């Protein structure tokens, strides 16, 4: 007997007249806005300019979407290129299917391009936006809820997800809401990075590496609950291997970076308000010193002239 469960929406597309509004797309868009908003606040707190995060996101977001889609299509190619499938569907990103690994990898390339154009170190930018990316993932996972996809094993827990669709091989029933598990985990990751960054003054990409490592831990166990088709290597799902490898790389980076460059970057964005104020203060100090020097020089000349006049008067007397 089902006492309680999380209901699935009857459909993931709503229409405003002839315009289709897709829940999956809305979740992605809202997530991007939250990531940029929080990243901007953290960037300014680190000494950067307002608006810089959004300017670089113009490069990072499209690259990230392309990378996420490529990873999904490559690792699940049979969904689009096997017999009876239409390869054109591989371009229908609004129907779901983004791989976070590809999104982060290619999104980093886009961010690197944007940072290079602004003369900003990529690791500092990555540290500022890390918690925002985790929150964006937390919000984006609800797109899977709208599409009734990527759920886990069958369960009768009170928070089970009720699947009603029978298309694409789905079997109606109640399942582990893995989208919810990952969403909550990502919120925890964001809070962890914010706390650790304040406590330990993480810099040079270590806050971002912490986000990556913490996310991989959660993704590893959540993958065990999923029942969607996936490639397996030595008994583990492909995403489990990816999570394990990326986790180790993130930990190694944090250790090596902490030894080579402890602390935070002193300047994250050349010409930022703090730098301008500091330069103005230095300029003001130099000008003040020059004025005082000129004043002392004028006083010395006046004293010298006065002494000379007194000497001449004494001589005449």
How does pLDDT run across 120-134, given as a tens digit for each residue? 999 999 999 999 999
How far apart are alpha carbons 170 and 167 in whole angstroms? 6
How far apart are alpha carbons 206 and 176 in whole angstroms? 33
310 in a structural domain: no
52 in a structural domain: yes
158 in a structural domain: yes
* pTM of this prediction exceeds 0.85: no
Note the pLDDT of residue 106.
Answer: 95
User: What is the tally of structural domains in the chain?
Assistant: 1
Q: Where are the extended beta strands (E) located within the chain?
A: 6-7, 13-16, 19-22, 161-163, 173-175, 232-233, 236-237
57 in a structural domain: yes
159 in a structural domain: yes
Query: Phi, psi (5° rounding) for residue 19?
Result: -95, 120
How far apart are alpha carbons 33 and 28 in whole angstroms? 9
309 in a structural domain: no
177 in a structural domain: yes
The radius of gyration of the chain from alpha carbons, rounded to an integer in Å, stands at: 30
- The list of the chain residues with pLDDT below 70 reads 1-4, 15, 272-317
Residue 236 in contact with residue 242, Cβ under 8 Å?
A: no
| Residue 166 belongs to domain spanning | 6-260
298 in a structural domain: no
Note the pLDDT of residue 276.
Answer: 46
């Amino acid at each position: 007997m089902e006492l309680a469960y999380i209901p699935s929406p009857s459909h993931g597309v709503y229409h405003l007249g002839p315009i289709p509004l897709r829940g999956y797309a809305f979740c992605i868009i809202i997530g991007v806005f939250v990531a940029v908003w929080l990243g901007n606040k953290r960037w300014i707190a680190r000494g950067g300019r307002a608006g810089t995060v959004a300017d670089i996101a113009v490069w990072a977001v499209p690259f990230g979407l392309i990378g996420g889609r490529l990873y999904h299509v490559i690792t699940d190619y049979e969904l689009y290129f096997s017999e009876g499938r239409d390869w054109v569907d591989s371009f229908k990103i609004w129907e779901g299917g983004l791989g976070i690994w590809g999104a982060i990898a290619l999104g980093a390339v886009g961010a690197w391009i944007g940072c290079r154009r602004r003369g900003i170190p990529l690791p500092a930018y990555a540290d500022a936006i890390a918690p925002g990316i985790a929150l964006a993932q937390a919000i984006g996972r609800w797109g899977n809820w709208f599409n009734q996809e990527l759920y886990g094993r069958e369960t009768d827990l009170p928070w089970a997800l009720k699947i009603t669709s029978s298309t694409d091989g789905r079997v109606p029933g109640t399942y582990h809401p893995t989208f919810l598990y990952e969403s909550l985990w990502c919120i925890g990751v964001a809070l962890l990075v914010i706390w650790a960054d304040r406590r330990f003054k993480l810099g040079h990409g270590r806050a971002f590496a912490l986000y990556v490592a913490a996310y991989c831990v959660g993704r590893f166990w959540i993958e065990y609950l999923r029942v969607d088709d996936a490639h397996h290597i030595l008994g583990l799902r492909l995403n489990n291997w990816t999570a394990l490898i990326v986790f180790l790389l993130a930990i190694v980076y944090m250790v090596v970076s902490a030894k080579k460059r402890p602390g935070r970057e002193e300047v994250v964005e050349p010409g930022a308000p703090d730098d301008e104020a500091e330069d103005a203060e230095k300029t003001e100090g130099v000008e003040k010193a020059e004025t005082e020097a000129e004043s002392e020089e004028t006083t010395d000349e006046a004293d010298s002239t006065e002494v000379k006049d007194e000497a001449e008067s004494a001589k005449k007397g």
